[in-house]
Amino acid sequence: MRLEPGLAPLIKQEVLSTFGPDACVRLFGSRVDDRARGGDIDLHIETALDRATAFEREQKLFARLQRLLGERRIDIVTHRTDDPLRPIDREALRAGVPL
């Protein structure tokens, strides 16, 4: 996993603070490949929140992470636990690393 030391716990703390203690966050995409270089930070968040609230929290989390981490490319994918899995959800669950 290619994140600077201390970054994974910070991201997890912000996700849980924003989405609640039942949220699950995974890092997926190029940052889980130790041989790759660069790449944005792809986060997959599972939540039981309703769609409108989840979308609002996703925007809030993005702003908080930008303030904390600086101008970085961050992609946040939110999956409601009651919704069917999309291909991106399946990939994040298959290859993602829980934070």
Nearest residue to 13 (alpha-carbon basis) of 40, 33, 43: 43
Nearest residue to 43 (alpha-carbon basis) of 84, 64, 5: 64
All structural domains of the chain, each given as residue ranges with its CATH number in brackets, are 7-98 (3.30.460.10)
Predicted TM-score of the model (pTM): 0.92
Question: 3-42: per-residue pLDDT in tens?
Answer: 888 889 999 999 999 999 999 999 998 878 767 776 789 9
Nearest residue to 8 (alpha-carbon basis) of 21, 26, 22: 26
Q: What confidence score (pLDDT) does residue 38 get? A: 67
Question: 48-97: per-residue pLDDT in tens?
Answer: 999 999 999 999 999 999 999 888 899 999 999 999 999 999 999 999 99
